[in-house]
């Protein structure tokens, strides 16, 4: 509540000090209502994923690579701070990223030291595909490498540890991506061409070779509300599903949301647009393995490989996971559907 509004309420309170008790009670109720609704109706949060932007209903966290997964393999490596997995998230842009804000500066420095030692030791390996070469890059927090099969880098940006691996054996490719990557604050929407990743932005004017950027958000005010959006570049040789087929495929097993899903409505498939492109939306009740129920809102849009401009597959999935509510009252089915519809309407090419 801004200062002018507070001042107005304060002056009005002084004028009612001598009013009748009934008037005072009504005034008190009004003030409580204003304060309560001001707290609940939090400001929306702008976000960007891949080459798209969207508006979340309120402040949200985003799932990132865990500290363990940054240095070793882990089942469901992308999670929220309390351990809730985000198994659909993917950080792929002309290579694969790991992004973690739970790796300390000391742990990152130790990882760089190990990587340098391994690269130096590999020089004695008998085969070329066993050897790693360190590439010249500036900055103590940067390390780039190449091998006969891949290249990549490590970097540390404003408390965020980043690793990148690509099958491209071009040494320059890894160095170029490292040079163009920077930290991005939560809610920051860059204005220059490039690709948004959680906490990062990679500036790029050239067409993407591969792009599968999917981010999972979780509302802070309602931890039971999970929002997943994916920007997937269409490539030759991939199975091509229509928007309707993709929608059905997600519900019937691709996302493994539960043991059963009952879609709402006699005709559950509806027309929904993302970024002005026609897609298919649906809303359903999910029965979990323990027989508890939740709700999900799904929109899928088919990409076009032959379009003159980049036209990717788009997917928006908004889910209630009541077991992750952290003691707060879970949202209702109507609220989940409304959140999904409003986010879908906000999605635009950045």
- Number of Cα atoms under 13 Å in the Cβ half of residue 117: 6
Please provide the DSSP assignment of 56-97 as one string.
ESS-EEE-EE-HHHHHS--SS-EE-TTS-B-TT-EEEESSEE
Bridge partners of residue 298, in order along the sequence: 282, 317
Other beta carbons within 10 Å of 72 = 9
Q: What pLDDT, on the 0 to 100 scale, is given for residue 296?
A: 98
Residue 220, phi-psi category: left (phi > 0), alpha (psi -120 to 50), beta (remainder): alpha
Q: What pLDDT, on the 0 to 100 scale, is given for residue 169?
A: 64
pLDDT in tens, 175-232: 999 999 999 998 999 999 999 999 999 999 888 999 999 999 999 999 999 999 999 9
Tell me the two tokens of residue 191: 């204005």
Tell me the two tokens of residue 71: 């240095």
Coil vs helix vs strand at 253: helix
Q: What pLDDT, on the 0 to 100 scale, is given for residue 25?
A: 46
What are the b/e assignments for 167-201, b being 16+ CB within 10 Å? ebeeeebbbebbbebeebeeeeebeeebbbbbbbb
What are the b/e assignments for 321-338, b being 16+ CB within 10 Å? beebeeeeebbebeebbe
Token look-up 């009612």 returns 16
| Domain residue extents for the chain | 3-38, 44-218, 222-350
Q: What pLDDT, on the 0 to 100 scale, is given for residue 144?
A: 95
Question: What is the rounded CA–CA span in Å between residue 52 and residue 347?
Answer: 7
Q: What pLDDT, on the 0 to 100 scale, is given for residue 1?
A: 38
Q: Are the beta carbons of 223 and 235 closer than 8 angstroms? A: no
Question: What is the rounded CA–CA span in Å between residue 216 and residue 88?
Answer: 8
Q: Is the dihedral of CA 310, 240, 50, 206 positive or negative?
A: negative
Question: What is the rounded CA–CA span in Å between residue 64 and residue 78?
Answer: 5
222-350 has which CATH code? 3.40.1000
Question: What is the rounded CA–CA span in Å between residue 65 and residue 81?
Answer: 10
User: What are the phi and psi torsion angles at 153 (to 5°)?
Assistant: -160, 165
Q: Is the dihedral of CA 118, 120, 121, 122 positive or negative?
A: positive
CA angle 308, 314, 319 (to 5 degrees): 170
Q: Are the beta carbons of 156 and 108 closer than 8 angstroms? A: yes
Describe the strand order of the beta sheet including 45-49 as a list of residue ranges. 45-49, 52-56, 348-349
Coil vs helix vs strand at 112: helix
Quote the pTM value: 0.86
Token look-up 């865990």 returns 66
Full pLDDT tens readout for the chain, 350 residues: 333 333 233 333 334 334 444 544 444 444 433 333 333 447 999 999 999 999 999 999 999 999 999 988 899 999 999 999 999 999 999 999 999 999 999 999 999 999 999 999 988 888 888 888 999 999 889 999 999 889 999 999 999 999 999 987 677 889 999 999 999 998 999 999 999 999 999 999 888 999 999 999 999 999 999 999 999 999 988 878 999 999 999 999 899 899 999 999 999 999 999 999 999 999 999 999 999 999 999 999 999 999 999 999 999 999 999 999 999 999 999 999 999 999 999 999 99
Question: What is the rounded CA–CA span in Å between residue 343 and residue 299?
Answer: 11
């Amino acid at each position: 509540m801004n200062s002018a509004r507070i001042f107005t309420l304060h002056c009005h309170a002084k004028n009612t000090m001598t009013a009748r008790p009934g008037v005072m009670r009504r005034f008190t109720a009004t003030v409580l209502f204003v304060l309560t609704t001001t707290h609940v109706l939090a400001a929306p949060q702008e976000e960007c994923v891949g080459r798209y932007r969207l508006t979340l209903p309120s402040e949200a966290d985003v799932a990132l690579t865990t500290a363990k997964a940054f240095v070793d393999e882990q089942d469901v490596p992308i999670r929220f701070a309390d351990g809730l997995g985000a198994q659909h998230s993917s950080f792929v842009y002309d290579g694969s990223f790991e992004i973690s804000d739970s790796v300390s500066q000391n742990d990152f420095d130790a990882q760089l030291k190990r990587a340098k030692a391994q690269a130096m030791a590999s020089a004695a390996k008998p085969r070329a595909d066993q050897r790693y070469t360190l590439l010249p890059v500036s900055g103590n927090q940067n390390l780039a490498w190449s091998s006969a099969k891949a290249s990549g880098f490590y970097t540390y940006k404003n408390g965020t540890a980043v690793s990148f691996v690509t099958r491209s054996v071009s040494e320059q490719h890894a160095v170029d991506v490292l040079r163009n990557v920077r930290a991005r604050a939560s809610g920051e929407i860059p204005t220059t061409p490039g690709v948004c990743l959680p906490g990062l932005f990679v500036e790029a004017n050239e067409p993407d070779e591969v792009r599968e950027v999917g981010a999972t958000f979780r509302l802070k005010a309602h931890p039971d509300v999970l929002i997943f959006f994916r920007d997937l570049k269409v490539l030759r040789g991939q199975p091509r599903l229509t928007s309707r087929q993709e929608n059905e495929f997600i519900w019937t097993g691709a996302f493994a949301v539960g043991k059963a899903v009952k879609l709402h409505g006699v005709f559950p498939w509806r027309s929904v647009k993302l970024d002005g492109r026609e897609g298919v939306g649906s809303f359903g009740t999910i029965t979990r393995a323990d027989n508890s129920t939740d709700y999900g809102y799904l929109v899928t849009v088919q990409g076009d490989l032959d379009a003159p401009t980049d036209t990717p597959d788009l997917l928006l999935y908004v889910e209630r996971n009541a077991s992750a509510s952290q003691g707060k009252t879970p949202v209702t089915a109507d609220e989940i559907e409304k959140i999904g519809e409003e986010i879908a309407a906000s999605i635009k090419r950045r």
